[in-house]
Amino acid sequence: MENKAHALVAGLFLLLLGLGLAASVAWFQGDRTERVKYTVVARGGVPGLNLKAPVKLRGVEVGYVESIGFDPADPRQILVGIAVDAAAPVSTATYAQLGLQGVTGLSFVGLEEGDAKGTLQRAAAGARFALRPTLLDRLAESGPGLVAGFAETATRLNALLSEDNRAQLGKTLAELQQAAADTSKLMASLQPSARELPGLLKDADATARRAQAALTRIEALAADGQLLAQDLKARAAALDELQAAAVQVQATSRNLELALVGETSPRTRPVLADVSAASRSIERAADALGEQPQSLIFGRGAQPPGPGEAGFAERIKK
């Protein structure tokens, strides 16, 4: 009996020890993280996505896929249930995309922030995020259009590169080559002129400076001429006054002669003769100055030779 009792105790001990080890393994392997459930809405397909596929927020794994199924309200939509760590900063502007896990062909759900610069507003539990197509998806959708465009471009290139067009293109290239050669020759012929151009510019600059100096001198001469003309006008006015005075003196002398014609005495006749001679001298001086006013400045010119004088015959011939 004692052997049976000892065997029973040993068996119970081993059973309890196994249960404890199993509970410990389950405890350590169990997921104790608090999760928040969201739903990803896909209008297209979700190829390569399976249950328990990872969910990553900006490349950091924060959860897993719990369920995949069609939307009962709209069978054209696929609802993907995800469980995300409650501490993950999932905002109301978050959207989802499918990513590839290496070369296995399996996909994962990637969450991206729609407004990275805005204020973070956490999404409520059960919120829905739209599944946006990736760049590869957009390329796949636009593939038929791209192929059609390439085909049309190839057709137009074939039409453009026909025999006639190729011949015309070759002719145009030959003309361009000839034009380039002519341009090179023209530039070579212009190089000597270009080397002389700095000297010509220096000469033109010197000529301009000399012209400016000449203009300055001409302006000074013009100013002097203007002053001389004003002086001549003033002297001409003085000559006019002198001539008027001479006329007045002559008139006065004539009046004196008329007044004294009946009372002329031997004493008054010389006086009258002197007055008359003086008036005639003043009149001749006034006439001479009126004819040659420049004589006041430059002096009186030489009188032309009269009859019997040297040079009179040459003057008559002229």
Structure tokens that stand for 266 in this block: 């031997």
Q: Is the pLDDT higher at 36 or at 270? A: 36
Structure tokens that stand for 176 in this block: 């361009």
**Summary mean pLDDT of the chain:** 75
pLDDT in tens, 159-189: 777 777 778 888 888 888 888 888 888 888 7
Which pTM was predicted? 0.40
Question: What pLDDT does residue 264 have?
Answer: 45
**Residue 96: beta bridge partners?**
111, 131
Q: What is the distance between the alpha carbons of residues 288 and 126, in angstroms, rounded to a whole number? A: 130
Question: What pLDDT does residue 189 have?
Answer: 79
Q: Pick from 11, 74, 88, 81: which is nearest to 51 by CA?
A: 81
- Assess contact for 41 and 82: CB atoms under 8 A: no
Structure tokens that stand for 205 in this block: 């600059």
pLDDT in tens, 12-21: 778 888 888 7
